[in-house]
Structures are given as structure tokens and as C-alpha cells.
A and B are shown apart, each in its own frame.
Chain A
Amino acid sequence: MSHQSGTFPAPCGQKACQVLKDRNICIQVLVMIQHLQRRVDEHLKQLPTTRQRLHLPKQKQAQSTHEQEALLDHLIRQMVNFLKSRATGGLEQQVSLLSLECRGNVRSAQRAQSSRQPGQLVLQWSDIEPAFVSHDLSNRGSEICVLYHSSFQDYNAYQGDKYQEDKNTLGFINLGTSENKLCIDLITERLGQSDMNCIEDVLLQYPDWRGQPFLREEVARFLTYYCKAPAQLDPENVVVLNGCCSVFSALAMVLCDPGEAFLVPTPFYGGFAFSSHLYAKVELLPVHLESEITEANTHPFQLTVDKLEHTLLQARFMDKKVRGLVLTNPQNPLGDVYSRESLKEYLEFAKRNDLHVIIDEIYMLSVFDESITFHSVLSMERLPDPNRTHVIWGTSKDFGISGFRFGALYTHSKEVASAVGSFGYLHSISGITQHKLCQLLRDREWIDTIYLPTNHFRLQKAHAYITNTLQSLRIPFLCRGSGLYIWINLKKYLNPCTFEEERLLHRRFLDNKLMLSCGKAYMCKEPGWFRLVFADRPLRLKLAILRFCEVLEEQKQDWKEKQLADAMKE
């Protein structure tokens, strides 16, 4: 085989491919350099403090120094290998063997560590894993790994070391992942009833890939009722897939060509970035919102048509083809609900510019403050551009069953519905699960008289508990009445107020086995914001707050020490 065949032929031409490839390499190298830099920083910072604080015996100290050094050494070697392998394409094999070998070393080291000390070190090690250069994977395969690890490494650490009342009291408490854990008792009881347990031959055979007709009918009825649609929604406009991220990914595939873009107001749910990039290679252009209240901004992080116009204009200036606008309502992470008027303005803006609007209403039944009215886009008497308006909903949040893997699309465009439906066989839901979902959604009486009232009551209580605590800690936050989270401002604990400091504070939470999400993950423009999920059982919530306060105390203490040290120097 000639070396020529190494670069793929056709569609975009050699040159474009090379550019793409180079860009991939750059990304990987950059990620590695970042890790390395971070590691060096931490290495330098940590060593003296660990020595002071823990009074480690000498031997152990030497050991941890040794480990750190080995790690740095490994990282550098890896980068060199990687660069070398790219430079000498033809000698691929040789290098691959080399990198395989050193990969083996790291893996065993990692295993040894994780068994010994499940917390901090695992996280640090998992930092590097994405930098692996695999010769068994394609470039995009490696990139997927890198992207995934950088987005989900904390989550994976949590999966391996969850807090459990009886078994693992030192494990992670997760106030980072948006899950509703307040009503598991109700759901478990409902799912345990006999109507859930039905096996029919159609459920075990190949399904209609858009979803079983009985489920699509039920979803249409459900959305008609809870979204207060003016007319009965059509089951033919419903597509059900295994999760909202799958729906989003499929939508991005069929609405955009690679390299095209969606507008999305920040801060926004980071999963969108992942889902639009991973398969579809669609870009997200942030519409940056600010917390400061001005004349134009009557409330923090307000989205206005001006800002949308401005970003669109900028995009056009950069020659970016914008195909749509992504909105989340109720907002994540802000917890805001759009008023009917502003919603209409956004939709009209989109129509004026021939943009699709994807509206994620996955928190629509999690509006727990009774004084707030949520307006689904499906409730509008006349949509400005119905064929370009696509609504996503799922049971993960409103019913607290993210493990069910269910997401639904409602679109008036039959064309879009059928195009998304063609992804069904890659994102399908088990027939047995479809039956259970249908039974759940159909049981309006249980939902209205038992589930929703209890859920809202418990959300209110948990929300009140957290907001009271935050108030007593004098931590600013946005007090909203929907969603499972609170958007809090920890700016005053950052010195200086940078994203790097935000990252360090975030790391400090993790080191204390508390997961929160930092503002950067939502592309927030201002450093210092965090999202705190409150929809957890009181016991875990209390413990989490304890850890939270400890971290902030530690952070303050550090600051004082630093000031003192600086003063001494002078």
C-alpha cells in the first residue's frame, strides 16, 4: 500500500483533509500541553502545602514526589511520541509499539492508585487519559475520547465512588448532575404496579423506528394537555428516541451541514455543545448575556432580540452560516422562564432570518413556584414559523428517570420528523420500556393528584433549604422557581476573579467530594458562577452543604494566608 492511501480521498480534497487533520493534531497537542501545564502548576503548589499540612512521613513524601515526577515524565514522552508519529507517518508502527508500551505502564499505575485511594488521585490521573494517542483509533475516535473525558471525567469519578449512607459515607455527593432524586419512592412504587409488566410480541420485535405508535399517540396527548396546545397534537409529528441528547444530535444532523452553526444564549447547558459537535460537526455560536442590570437588561442574563441580532450579524461577518437558534425553557442553568411576549419576539426574530428554533422544554413540569406560569411554545395560538419550530421534551428531569433513556421531538414539519426518524435504529428504545413510558404518561390521575403535587412540594422545600443557607452565607444567587438547580455567584471567593481561579475552586470542591458545575461549563462569560443542584434527599443535601461550607472556609483561609505571606515579603 502506498503511503498516499493514508490520507482519505474524495470529498473535500486532499488539502482540506490535511487542514482538518492538522487541526485535530493541534487540538490534541494543545490538550496535552494544557494538562502538562496544569500538572506542573499543581505539582509546585501542592508539594509545600501537603508537607505543611499533613506532616507526611519523609518516605511517603518522597514517594508522592516520585509519582508526580513519573507522571510528568510520562506526559512529555507521550507528547514527543505523538509529534514524532505524526511527523514520520511511514514509521507509524514503530511508534505505535512505543506508545503502546508506555500506555500499558500508565494503566497499571492508574489501577494501583485507584484501588488505594479512590478520591483525588484518580481524578488527577483521569486528567491525562484523554491525551492518549491511540494508533488503533481514527483521529476522530481519539478526539471523541478527548472530548468525552474532558467533559465527563468528574462524572465518571463519581460513578465509581458514589456517596452511600451505609456503605460509602466518604463518597462523592453529586450536586453537579441535574437529576431529580426527590421522588424516587413514588416512581418506584408506580413502576412496580402490575400494568407496567406486560410482554407482548410486538414489544419484542423490530419496532417502528420513530417509536411505537401507541407511545407516540400517548406523547401527543400528553403534550397537548400539559403544554396547553390550542389544538390536538398529531402523533405523526412525534419522534421518540433514547434521550434528548439523541434527539438534539439527530436534529443537528438533518438541519445543518457540517460547519454550519446554531445561535445559543449563554450560559447554556453544556451537553448541547457536545451533542452538536460529536457526530454532526455543527458549531454553537454563543449569544453572551451578562449578569449586570442596566437599562437594556432589566434582569440578570436577559436575552434580548438586540443581542440575537448582534450575534447573527457578527456571524455573517465571519462568513458563518447560521441555521438556527437553540433555546431552553425553563432555562438551564438560570432557572428562568421566558415570558410569552419575549418567546414570541425570539421566534419572530428567527422567522425574519429563516432560522430554525429548537426549544428544549425538558423542565416544563418542574416549575415548582405556583406564582410562575410557564408557557410552552406549543401553547401558542399561532407559531410564527411552525415548520421551523422543533420542541424537545423527555422524562429525565420532570419524572426523575434519566436512566430510562427517553426523549421526544415534536415538530410540525413532517419532513423534519421523518428525517429525524431515520436515525431511529441508532437511538431506539426497548419495546418494554416504551410500554412502561406509555403507561406512565397515560396515568393522568396519578400524575395530577399524586406525583406532580408531591414533586413540586419537595422541590420547594429543598429549594428553600438551600436558598436559606446561601442567604446566611451571604452568597448571591438567582432565586427562581423552576428547574432542579440554583445559579450561584461565588465571585467573592475568587482572587483574582479569573476562570483559572474558578477552575481551582471547582477542583477544591471535588477534592472534598462535592460535585458542582462551574460556569465555564455553561460558557458563562463571567467567572465565578456555579450551578448547584438541589433536588436531592435532605440528608445528602445537608452533608453537601457541610462540605460546601468547609471548602469556602478553606478558600478564605488560604486567601488570608496568602495575604499574610505577601505582607511578610514586603
Chain B
Amino acid sequence: MSTLAQTESGTPTTCAGPASTQDLGSSYGDCLQGECSRKPDQKLPELHGVGDPVMFSSNSSYLSSRGRMIKWFWDSAEEGYRTYHMDEYDEDKNPSGIINLGTSENKLCFDLLSRRLTQPDMQWVEPSLLQYPDWRGHLFLREEVAKFLSFYCKSPAPLKPENVVVLNGCASLFSALATVLCEAGEAFLIPTPYYGAITQHVHLYGNVRLAYVYLDSKVTGTDTRPFQLTVEKLEMALQEATSKGVKVKGLILINPQNPLGDVYAPGELQEYLVFAKRYWLHVVVDEVYMLSVFEKAVGYRSVLSLERLPDPQRTHVMWGASKDFGMSGLRFGTLYTENPDVATAVASLCRYHGLSGLVQYQMAQLLRDRDWINQVYLPENLARLKAAHTYVSEELRALGVPFLSGGAGFFIWVDLRKYLPEATFEEELLLWRRFLDKKVLLSFGKAFECKEPGWFRLVFSDKAHRLRLGMQRVRQVLEEKAQVAEDPPPCQTQEPSDQRR
């Protein structure tokens, strides 16, 4: 049911050697610039302790053994990113280049954003913005964030600026939280499939691991939905980690979920929080897609909207501008926690994760402009997301491909198991590579630590012409596959029940 992300002994079995490393690296779907994470089959070795792994020691190297390991992981991840960037699609210059439906970015509203960001109020420069800041973030921005979250998370009482810490992105926030909440070698529980880059975020500086809570797609008695998280599964995963001698310090929840595109019901959320409280676990709730719920019927609730949090001192919420405002390049992430020690400790690290005063000012202006957000940006953004989603889901349906989509996020979780001759991750990889050969980039399930081979994440939040071309290429690959298949596809019968949500 659960497995640890990294085994203690680490290296020997998992690092297959440089040759295969390169190979795997280039095949890594979700490891583009934005979402770099480790490769599917590798487990991160411990950074110190257990002697020097042979493959990392090299006399010609200028790096320490820790440095060599860091670089090795990065290079292998970057390999995939390079493949894409060497041959990026461009309407005019490179129409046969690769279309990226792998990186979770919202490219639908650039026109709105650029218009807003070039208005005169954004150009303000004043001395205090150019000098060393309050490392928690400028007070004016923290006040604006508190107001913003109070409103959009529907908090029962106004949130407080002193509970806000601002950093240069949610990756930094994961890293800082891991460092101040866990000792090296300790772990967070995380339900899979999950946004795989978190593995790197918590490991690079923090040396913290993830203990997986594996979910499956099958709908059975207690599981009324595919990939349903239950307290029972959490309990089991926690037990297993503990029995292996790994201390679990917290639970990471992503809501709305990535890659499932689903949201947790308030009742479920409450159950998970109560579970965490029972074991003195911190809960880190990543709500970075909270305003990207484009299906009106979906009842999304932020954890900050709950009337009474079971353990407010151990509940930490993160949000950022990367997804909901489609500005992953702005590097803005924020923490909300009622625990002053945690806020202070994270702020102590902010010297290393700060963002420019001018950008802080622009961010505050943006969050403050409720008229623009409510009347211009959000309605338009949600309408465009919905249209793109409708287009892609129609295409998939026409192809007879099952998929999951919960009405939130930028992606559809696609079930391509029937296209794998064998239910293995090798086959998943081959299919993924087939897509890349046809110049369309997707992310494969292994990158999200999905238990079942054959799932892919497809990002739909891109301009219509790119999306159309991307889907054409997807169709080509799948039709070709279906023709080539000599045996009838193996898992055609099993379709997730609520694929049409």
C-alpha cells in the first residue's frame, strides 16, 4: 500500500549507471523547466552517510560528492527538458516542433495579464522597494495577501498579515517547510499520484523524504471514486513507514489535486485533518489551483474556510501566482500559518528565497484589484479553461479513451492502459516516447508515482491552435497504436466511473 520514496541503502539497485541514466532522463515527461523532478525509476540516494557511491566519485570532478549527486540528478532531469527546448514548436519558425502538453502552465490569459501589468500603477518605484526588505515580505503585500485569501478562501474570520510569509515560489516554500518541520531523513506522507517535483523540493536542501500513500483507480466497496484517498489508507501508509523506522512528520495534500484535477470534499478534508491531528502530524495544504476550478458544480472548499481546524497550529497553507494567475515566471508563493514559530522559522530562510521589491509591489497591486479579478480576469480565465477542457475531452471521447477530470486545474488524467501491450512502466515509457517522436510532449504516470502503468497527464490550458495540433498528434499515435496492436487491447473494460464529471 505504501512505499518510501527513498530506501535507506539507496544507490546500488536504483542507480543503473550513466548510460541508462541518460536514456531515462530524456524520456522524462514532467521534468521540463517548470516541473523538474527526478526520473521515474531512480530513488534518491541519501546525500550523506553510507559512504561514497562509486558512480558519483570521480577524480576529475571539481564538486564534492554531495555536489556531484545533486548535479547528476539535475542533469538527468534536464535531459528531457533539453529535448523539448532544442525543438520547441513555433507557429512561424518551427511549425513541426514539439508541442508541450506536459508542463502545467496556463497560457490562455496572457493578453489580459500583459494589459493589466503594463498599466501605470504597476510602474511605481520607491526607495524602500529597492532596499533590503522585511524578509517575510513587505508589509503592504502581506496585508494584501491576507485580505485576498480571506476573501477567496472564504475564511470565517479575517486572516492576519502576521501569519503570511512571502517567498519566490511554492518550490521554495516546500523546501523551507521541509527544513524547519523535519530533521534530515524524516518524511512527509503524500497520496499518489502527485505532482512529482515535490520530491526534489523537499530533498535538495532539506534532505526530507516522501512516504507514499498509493491510491488505485479501481472502484470497489469503500472506494466510491478512482484514486480515492481514505483515512484507512493514510493509517496504513503511516504504519508502514513507522515500521521501517522512518519518522513521519507531516502530510502533504494538494487541493485541487494535481494531476487528478479533482477536489476534496469538505467532509473528507476534515477527516484527513483529524487523522493528522491524532498522530501529531503537520498538514501542508497546497492550494495553488484554488481559483482554477472551472466547473461551476464543483464545490471546492479551501482548508482556510473550515469553521474549526482540528489542529490550526499544525496546518499550513500555500498558494501562489504561478497557476491561478498564469505567471509561473513571476516567482511568487505564499505561506499562511497560524503557528508563529513556523512563520518565523520560514521567514528566517527568506533571505535566500526573497523576491524583488518591485515585483512585490506589482503583486500587491494585482491582488488588490478586486474589480479586475472578479469582472475581467476570473470569468474570462474560467471560460477559456472550460472551452479548452471541453475541446480536449470531446477529442478523447471520440477516440474512445477513458479519462478523469474533476473540473479543476489545467490537466486531464488520461487512461491509456489499453494501449500498452503489457502493463509495465517500460511500455508506458515507450508510448511516451512515441508521443515525443510525433512531436507532442505529455507527462507519464510514473512521474507522479502512479501505481498503475499507462496513465498520462495532458495539459489543456494552451492556445487553441497549439492544442488542436497537439491533439492531432496524440490521435495519430493512438490510432497507429490501435492498428499495430495484434492482440485486442487488454484493459478496455475498466473505465473509471466518473470520467464525465
Binding site for B on A (CB under 8 A): 1-2, 4-13, 93, 107, 129, 132, 134, 136-142, 144-145, 147-149, 152, 155-156, 159, 177, 179, 181, 184, 187-188, 191-192, 196-197, 199-209, 242-243, 245-246, 249, 253-258, 260, 274-275, 278-279, 323, 356, 387-388, 400-406, 413, 415-416, 418-419, 421-423, 425-433, 436
Docked complex Cα distance between A255 and B65 (Å): 8
Which listed residue, B32, B129, B341, B348, touches A134 by the CB 8 Å rule? B341
Tell me how many residue pairs across A and B have CB atoms closer than 8 Å: 293
Closest Cβ–Cβ distance, residue B330 to chain A (whole Å): 5
| CB-CB under 8 A for A418 and B342, given A140-B180, A404-B357 | no
A425 to B342, CA, bound (A): 22
**CB < 8 Å: which of A139, A205, A255 contacts B328?**
A205
Task: List 19 extra interface pairs beyond A204-B327, A405-B168, A425-B172, CB under 8 A.
Answer: A10-B185, A11-B47, A138-B180, A140-B179, A141-B179, A144-B348, A155-B132, A200-B114, A204-B328, A204-B329, A254-B70, A254-B71, A401-B131, A403-B129, A403-B132, A419-B67, A419-B70, A430-B355, A433-B358
A residues less than 8 Å from B70 (CB atoms): 253-254, 419, 422-423
Cα-based distance from A208 to B33 in the complex (angstroms): 6
* Interface membership of B280, Cβ < 8 A: yes
Cβ of B199 under 8 Å from chain A = no
Chain B residues, CB < 8 A from A413:
62
Residues of chain A with a CB closer than 8 A to B75's CB:
418
Closest to A188 in B: B125
- Once the chains bind, are B246 and A430 in contact (CB under 8 Å)? no
Q: Are B280 and A93 in contact (CB under 8 A)?
A: yes
- Considering the chains assembled together, what is the distance between the CA atoms of A432 and B359 in angstroms? 8
**Alpha-carbon separation in the docked complex, A486 to B118 (Å):** 42
Closest-CB distance, B89 to chain A (whole angstroms): 14
A203 vs B330: C-alpha distance when bound (angstroms): 7
Contact with B353, one of A141, A207, A242, A255 (Cβ below 8 angstroms): A242
The interface stretch among B103-111, B388-396, B468-476, B493-501 is: B103-111
CB distance from B239 to the nearest CB of A (A): 9
Give how many B residues have a beta carbon under 8 Å from the other chain's beta carbons: 98
What would be 29 A-B contacts, judged by CB atoms less than 8 Å apart?
A: A1-B279, A7-B247, A8-B183, A8-B247, A12-B49, A132-B341, A136-B339, A136-B341, A140-B184, A147-B348, A199-B117, A199-B118, A242-B353, A242-B355, A243-B351, A253-B205, A254-B66, A255-B62, A255-B64, A256-B66, A258-B48, A400-B130, A401-B130, A425-B171, A428-B169, A429-B168, A429-B355, A433-B355, A436-B358
Q: A354's closest neighbor in chain B, by CB?
A: B62
Q: Is B236 an interface residue (CB 8 A)?
A: no
* Distance in Å: Cβ of B129 to nearest Cβ of chain A: 6
Are the CB atoms of B127 and A188 closer together than 8 Å? yes
Query: In the bound complex, do residue A356 and residue B185 qualify as a contact, i.e. CB atoms below 8 Å apart?
Result: no
What residues of chain A lie closer than 8 Å to B331, measured between beta carbons? 428-431
* A191 x B125 contact (CB < 8 A): yes
Q: Name the contact of A1 in the complex, choosing from B242, B353, B362 (C-beta under 8 A).
A: B242
Q: How far is the CB of B74 from chain A (nearest CB, A)?
A: 3
Closest to A132 in B: B341
| Contact, CB under 8 Å: A199 / B113 | yes
B352 interface residue per 8 A CB criterion:
yes
Asked whether B356 lies within 8 Å of A144 as measured between CB atoms, the reply is no
Report chain A residues within 8 Å CB of B357.
Answer: 403-404
Interface positions of B from 156 to 199, Cβ below 8 Å from A = 168-169, 171-172, 175, 179-186
Contact partners of B110 in chain A: CB under 8 A: 201, 204
A249 to B205, CA, bound (A): 10
Name the CB-closest residue of A to B205. A279
**Which of A145, A415, A416, A433 makes the CB contact (< 8 A) with B359?**
A433
Q: Which of A142, A149, A184, A428 contacts B168 (CB 8 A)?
A: A428
Chain A residues whose C-beta falls within 8 Å of the C-beta of B345 in the assembled complex: 134, 137, 141-142, 144-145
Residue from the set B35, B345, B357 with the largest chain A CB neighbour count within 10 Å: B345
Are the C-beta atoms of B63 and A419 separated by less than 8 Å? yes
Residue B30 CB within 8 A of the other chain: no
B183 to chain A, nearest CB (A): 5
Q: Give the CA-CA distance A156 to B36 in the complex, in Å.
A: 35
What 1/0 mask marks residues of chain B from 219 to 255 whose CB sits below 8 Å from any chain A CB?
Answer: 0000000000000000000000010111101000000
Are A256 and B185 in contact (CB-based, < 8 A)?
Answer: no
B91 to chain A, nearest CB (A): 13
In the complex the two chains form, what is the Cα distance from A132 to B342 in whole Å? 12
The residues of A that contact B123 with a CB separation of less than 8 Å are: 192, 196-197
Interface members, chain B 277-316 (any A CB < 8 Å): 279-280, 282, 313-314
Q: Which of A1, A202, A253, A426 contacts B329 (CB 8 A)?
A: A202
Contacts of B182 in A (CB 8 A): 138
In the complex, the answer to whether A136 meets B105 with C-beta atoms within 8 Å is no
Do B67 and A254 touch across chains, with their CB atoms under 8 A apart? Answer: yes
CB within 8 Å for A402 and B131 given contacts A208-B33, A243-B354:
yes
